[in-house]
Amino acid sequence: MPETSLITALLAGLLGGAHCVGMCGGIVAAMSLQGGRRQPLPFHLGYNLGRLASYAAAGALAGLVGSAAFLSERLLPLQTSLYVLAQVVLILMGLYLAGLSRAVLWLERAGGALWKRLQPVFGRLLPIRDFKGALAAGLVWGWLPCGLVYSVLVTALASGNAASGALLMLAFGLGTLPNLLAMGWAAERLRALAANRAVKLVAGLAVAGFGVWGLVALAR
């Protein structure tokens, strides 16, 4: 797997912070302010460690499914198609983050059925009383329907094996970490920043640029 793919996944998570704040704001607020008190830092680490573990598991599963396309040279067109699809989804996600298109939202709707089943489980874990509870809540949180997560999952599907898929999703998750950790401590300020039109436009176009870069590299 090219090192640039890991860097792209990391930067996509980092630059997609505006979307993360919007998608996960309610969940972070619910976990961060329980009983009117701010949760301690170890709890926040537990939430995010669980979330990253779920991302890695999803990436490994996607990579395993996609690995069938790499078992034979006869399937080269399928490999190429998966790669092109991954870049196109990344471009669409970037345009959505920039506020220029909503075409990628069908990915989030596709994951809604799974979240409906997991949401009651998440509710039963509240209030969080210890690190184990925070970790369990994070594991469930990782399956929240998110177009940005799914766009990177498509890349994991095209990665060729379970280990590469897991690494891609882990890199993406690490990219989201600064925004979501900070949100636990400065939720309102980050929401205001995420709503800034210029911030959304620059971040979204940067994410879309990664997809364009991938397509150009393929054409060379």
pLDDT of residue 30: 66
User: Would you say residue 117 has pLDDT above 80?
Assistant: yes
pLDDT band of residue 3 (cuts 50, 70, 90) is: low
Q: Averaged over 152-177, what is the pLDDT?
A: 90
Q: Identify which of 142, 112, 149, 117 has the alpha carbon closest to the alpha carbon of residue 49.
A: 142
Q: What is the DSSP letter of 33?
A: E
* pTM (2 d.p.): 0.82
The predicted structure's pLDDT at residue 168: 94
Structural domain including 81 reads: 3-219
The predicted structure's pLDDT at residue 92:
87
Number of domains in the chain: 1
Rounded distance between C-alpha atoms, residue 29 and residue 183, angstroms:
8
Cβ pair 72, 186 in contact under 8 A = no
